[in-house]
Structure 1
Amino acid sequence: MSRFAPVVPAAVLAFALTACASGGVEGGTPGGAGLRDPYFPKAGNGGYDVSHYDLALSYTPGTRHLAARATITARATQDLSAFNLDLRGLRVEKVTVDGTAARWNRAGQELTVRPPDDLAEGRTFRVAVRYSGTPVTITDPDSSQEGWLPTAGGALALGEPVGSMAWYPGNHHPSDKATYDIEVTVPKGLRAISNGEPRGESTTGGRTTARWHMGRPMASYLTTLAVGRYDVSRTATPDGLPVHTAVDPAEAAASRAVLARLPEVLAWSQDRFGPYPFASAGAIVARPGDAAYALETQTRPFFPGTPDVPLLVHEIAHQWYGNSVTPRSWRDMWLNEAFATYAEWLWAEGHGGDTAQHTFDELYAGTRYATPEENAAVWLFPPAYPPGAEHISGRPVYDRGAMVLHEIRRTLDDDAAFGALLRGWAAAHRHGNASTEDFTRYVEERAPDKDFDRVWEDWLYGEGKPKPGPR
């Protein structure tokens, strides 16, 4: 496994997309197929930057048939003779670029589009893809399932890390965020819930169309769609933030009390992490068997069954750390999970539970979990360097990552300064992307009189269990 190295690997540098001025072109070259992510090298594509997705989907649960159109607005970051979109399964029927039919071909998850004329560097263009079929469920390297998940009464679309390519084509890497309009048509009597704010619902000919708008940049893995017989509630927090929840009727009674605390959790989070980064909040609560995990889908976290308060705190904290400040690559996953896990520690500390130091001490002593195997798993690898794609959601990314934050807090030795650091980090990269190197640099610049070398070398990048440090 890799040790601490201050130099950013070339593979990580490949994620940068360059903004360039427009101009004419002849003899462009194809955009890259994949962004060479350390864990998902085929994810994403080079040569362009997406600014907006307009998705129109029609789904029939009885036949599991999806018919859809995706219109993608993007800007060429090089002279392009061709470019790729990620799309897993489904049948492509037609592709146009700026309204003119384009040639295309498929190879695995790659949809290669050849526009009628080369696209000049800096040019904004629109590619429309009409497609249909039965969306697939993707099994991740860690054996969890994502993509399109059929349920007893409808379907769920969950995308972390690469599942969104199962239901729409795009540049499916967290480094390319975009705004969204999502229109979903389903049989009358079902609801279709997605990210952002509702833009109307209408019923014609026995089918209901719901429209959703996400006006802030969103990584594709954070998109979601829930189709089913949900009870939908639209309320607001005391400060006026719209809250949209969708709950399976089987979970309505059990979830009522915890969802009633959502405004409280949002207010607490804003006090600690800064202004809420989006125009609405909420939750989707499905049945326990519909998926095997909760997910921080943007503005509307997903829960398979009624969550407890710590899990609600975790997923709401992700709206700042992961959703607004999004990892530059999947190697930076700990920046999502460490912050959300530490939010749980802070919540407990402020609500009559264990202090963060007590939680840290239990993890270090190997007494936090019920079995020796679970406690030992905390030290399997450094949070900044999971050994493979199957480990990017491993226990060290969560628990040892949170321990890194606690070591930063101890090094600062000033809770006010630590709180300012949490808020400042969320503000510095609001609606953008950030890497581990960005974070370590940020911390050092905020506290130039403190020495963080041991935190980075032993806790963030180091192998094995660090030796006890000074208190």
Structure 2
Amino acid sequence: MRHRLIVPAAVLAALTLAVPASAAEPAPGAPGAGDPYYPEYGNGGYDVSHYDLQLKYRPKTDELAGTATLLGRTTQDLSRFNLDFALEVSEVRVNGRKATTATSGAHELEVTPAEPLAKGEDFTVVVRYAGVPSEVEVHGFTSWMRTPDGAVAANQPESAWWWYPSNDHPSDKATFDISITVPKGTDALSNGTLRSTTTTPAGTRTRWRSHKPQATYLATLAVGKFDITKSTTESGIPVVTAYSEDLGEDAGAARASLERTSEVTDWLEGVFGPYPFNSVGGYVPNTKVGFALETQTMPFYGRKRFERGSDVPVVVHELAHQWYGDSVSVRKWRDIWLNEGFATYASWLWSEHQGEGTAQELADYVYSLYPADDDFWRVKPGDPGPENQFHGAVYDRGAMALQALRNEIGDKDFFAVLKGWPAEHSGGNARVRDFVRYAEKMSGEPLTELFDTWLYQPSKPAASALGGERAAAGKAERAPQTPPKSWRKIAAVNGSHGHRR
């Protein structure tokens, strides 16, 4: 006769709770970083501290081969983790041992180590890969741009997938070493400082290093034939500017813009505080696009930006991002105002500095451009949604929010906030609400209502909310007869500084 052991439910529950947590099976890392705008971007379960990229590129065939070494630390017990990547992978090793791989979603590389990884463990991942990036489309596009003599990787909020595997979200910043071999007579540009250039029978190998934390989308690569100029700022920061040799009639306008990089950087240090990196510059490849991007220390400028002449405001905008967007990056993509509102306002301050229209005049003009029923006012710069992440309201209404703040707390506290914020969060990430709290702390004034009005209400604020003489006189609703002298070029920057697919 068989006897059944009956365990009371309460006792069974107690026994279950008594099982040590370590006995639980390790779980796979999440296939996303938890960003509501882009749920599949980034990954969970680990943080990357450093990327070492050893690359070889053939411009004629657009073939890219690479070995990427990632140094990271787990944030949970991991049976498996993901990398964001779209090229063909030949081998992955974790801590020196071969790992098994699979693909899922649009750009997920699933990596299963030979042994599970424990929480808090330092680990190394080596990925060997090759492919033709321009032929690989994710979500119907590629961020890899071919040029007549090479290629460029630059885009937001994604560009890494086409040239290196990563945890592709701004919340996981890391340092970078990028080494690339290209044919003799060809140049290779990237972020940070140029460490060495060596020519061998195999080609020319160039090594770049970014020793400050950098978001993955801010890493850039440009291969081609460039005219390169080197100088220094007044404070001694190395400046590297580069221009495709075949810019044709746009070359003069491009140079007339980027060769003011040193001057603009010196001026921005007076506005935002010490420059946060140890090099600065920019490059203009022979691309067919007209947008610009704040790729860290080495902003990208599409050739079309200079078809109508020089464009210093775009240089101001991208260099301002080195403080607001690069050194201090968004925690999630909804915090994009911390990037674009401040870079736009920097161009307003530059206009003021150049005597081409004060920031108040620009704010009044922009305010009067859009009637109360215009869709412009329905976009909330503090949380615009993925479909409006690069909408003009994020830039212009976002800059108006800063002018309203300036009028509310006065120039002394306002410029102390502009300098103090990037120093307080240097190399890190932040949210809009963090800035609101910081501004309240620095000024000693309650500012929640002001920011709610300008960043979160889907309606046109009252003219009095902007402040300034026009608002005080009740005249801000009437459009000025003529815009400030600087407006046309500033507006052109905002109109071509978004996500390009």
User: Structure 2-normalised TM-score?
Assistant: 0.83
Q: Secondary structure at the match of 1:78?
A: coil
1:420 pairs with 2:385: no
Cα displacement (A) at 1:381: 0.7
**1:119-134 correspondence to structure 2 within 5 Å:** 119-134=117-132
One-letter identity of the residue aligned with 1:399: D
Corresponding position of 1:396: 393
Whether the 8 Å CA contact 1:27–1:118 is kept in 2: the answer is no
1:335 aligns with 2:338: yes
2:352 match: 349
Q: How does 1:4-83 map to 2 (within 5 A)?
A: 27-83=25-81
Taking a change above 3 Å as real, the CA distance of residues 139 and 311 of structure 1, as seen in their structure-2 partners, is farther
Q: Which position in structure 1 is the counterpart of 2:88?
A: 91
Report deviation, 1:139. 7.8
**2:199 alignment partner in structure 1:** 203
Q: 1:319 aligns to what?
A: 322
Other-structure match for 2:368? 365
Offset from partner CA, 1:284-325 (integer Å, 9 cap, x none): 1123x4333100000011111245111111110000000000
The answer to whether residue 221 in structure 2 is matched with residue 225 in structure 1 is yes
Amino acid at match of 2:51: Y
Q: Which amino acid aligns with 2:348?
A: W
Query: CA deviation digits over 1:402-449, x for unaligned, max 9?
Result: 11111111110x21211000001111111100011111111122223x
Question: Structure 1 residues 122, 129: CA separation in 2 closer, same or farther (over 3 Å shift)?
Answer: same
Query: Would you say the 8 A contact 1:59–1:65 is kept in 2?
Result: yes
* Structure 1 residue identity aligned to 2:448: D
Aligned 8 A contact 1:325 1:433 in 2:
yes
Change (3 A) 1:239 1:67: same
Check conservation: 1:377, 1:396, Cα contact below 8 A: no
User: In structure 1, what is the equivalent of residue 13 of structure 2?
Assistant: none
- Name the CA shift for 1:292/1:254 in 2 (closer, same or farther; >3 Å): closer
Any conservation in 1 of the 2:80–2:112 contact (CA below 8 Å)?
yes
Q: 1:175 aligns to what?
A: 171
How far apart in 2 are the matches of 1:58 and 1:290? 24
Task: Pick closer, same or farther for the CA change 1:346–1:377 going to 2, 3 Å.
Answer: farther
For 2:23 and 2:72, locate their aligned partners in 1 and report how far apart those are by CA, in whole Å.
Answer: 17
Shift of 1:330: 0.6
Aligned partner letter, 1:456: F
| 272-281 vs 26-35, greater mean Cα deviation | 26-35
Q: Are the structure 2 counterparts of residues 239 and 92 from structure 1 closer, same or farther at C-alpha, using a change threshold of 3 Å?
A: same
Relative to structure 1, the CA distance from residue 270 to residue 465 in structure 2 (aligned partners, 3 Å threshold; closer, same or farther) is same
Contact 1:409 1:415 in 2 (8 A): yes
Deviation at 1:68, TM superposition (A): 0.8
Query: Which residue is equivalent to 1:295?
Result: 293
Which deviates more, 353-362 or 257-266? 257-266
> What percentage of residue pairs aligned between the two structures are identical?
47
8 Å contact kept, 2:182–2:204: yes
2:68, 2:439 → 1: CA distance?
40
Amino acid at match of 1:462: Q
SS state of the match for residue 82, structure 2?
strand
Question: Among 442, 452, 456, which residue is 1:457 paired with?
Answer: 452
What per-residue deviation string (whole Å, max 9, x for no partner) do you get for residues 355-408 of structure 1? 1111111111117xxxx99x9453241101213x23211101101111111111
1:239 aligns with 2:242: no
What amino acid maps onto 1:224 in structure 2?
T
Corresponding letter in the other structure for 2:333: W
The aligned counterpart of 2:402 is: 405
**Whole-angstrom CA distance in 1 between matches of 2:432 and 2:138:** 24
1:258 and 2:257 aligned: yes
Counterpart Cα distance in 2 of 1:44 and 1:87: 10
Preserved CA contact (<8 Å) 1:185 1:208: yes
Counterpart secondary structure, 2:38: coil
Matching residue's letter, 1:336: N
Q: Is the 8 A contact 2:376 2:392 kept in 1?
A: yes
Q: What is the distance in 2 between the residues matched to 1:260 and 1:229?
A: 19
Larger-Rg structure: 2
For 1:20, the equivalent position in structure 2 comes to: none
Provide Cα deviations, 1:111-154, integer angstroms capped at 9, x if missing partner.
1111111111111110000011111478898x9x6621111111
**1:130-183 Cα deviation digits (max 9, x unpaired):** 011111478898x9x662111111101013102211211110000000000001
Counterparts of 1:438 and 1:224 in 2: how far apart (Å)? 29
Q: Does 1:113 align with 2:111?
A: yes
Q: RMSD in angstroms over aligned alpha carbons?
A: 2.2
Give me the whole-angstrom Cα distance separating, in 2, the residues matched to 1:136 and 1:68: 16
Structure 1: distance between partners of 2:421 and 2:234: 26
Aligned to 1:14: none
Contact 2:436–2:448 (CA under 8 A) maintained in structure 1:
no
1:257 offset after TM fit, Å? 2.8
Contact 1:341–1:402, Cα closer than 8 Å, also in 2:
yes
One-letter amino acid of the counterpart of residue 95, structure 1:
V
Q: In 1, Cα distance between the equivalents of 2:351 and 2:375?
A: 23
Give the residue type in structure 1 aligned to 2:132: T
Does structure 1 conserve the Cα–Cα contact (< 8 Å) formed by 2:74 and 2:121? yes
The aligned counterpart of 1:152 is: 148
Supply the distance in 2 between the matched residues of 1:396 and 1:324 (Cα, whole angstroms): 23
Q: What residue in structure 2 maps to residue 283 of structure 1?
A: 282
> Does the Cα contact within 8 Å between 2:143 and 2:158 map onto a contact in 1?
yes
Q: Does the CA contact (< 8 Å) of 2:290 and 2:301 recur in 1?
A: no
Moved more, 160-169 or 126-135: 160-169
| Greater displacement, 291-300 / 377-386 | 377-386
SS of 2:463 mapped into structure 1: coil
Distance 2:136 2:382 in 1: 25
Structure 2 CA distance for aligned equivalents of residues 178 and 292 of structure 1: 29
Mapped partners of 1:396, 1:119: distance in 2: 45
Could you list the runs of 5+ residues in structure 2 that have no partner in the other structure? 1-20, 468-501
**CA shift digits 1:74-107 (9 cap, x unpaired):** 001111111110012x111000011111111111
Structure 1 partner of 2:499: none
Q: For 2:145 and 2:27, how far apart are their aligned partners in 1? A: 37
Separation in 2, partners of 1:139, 1:362? 41
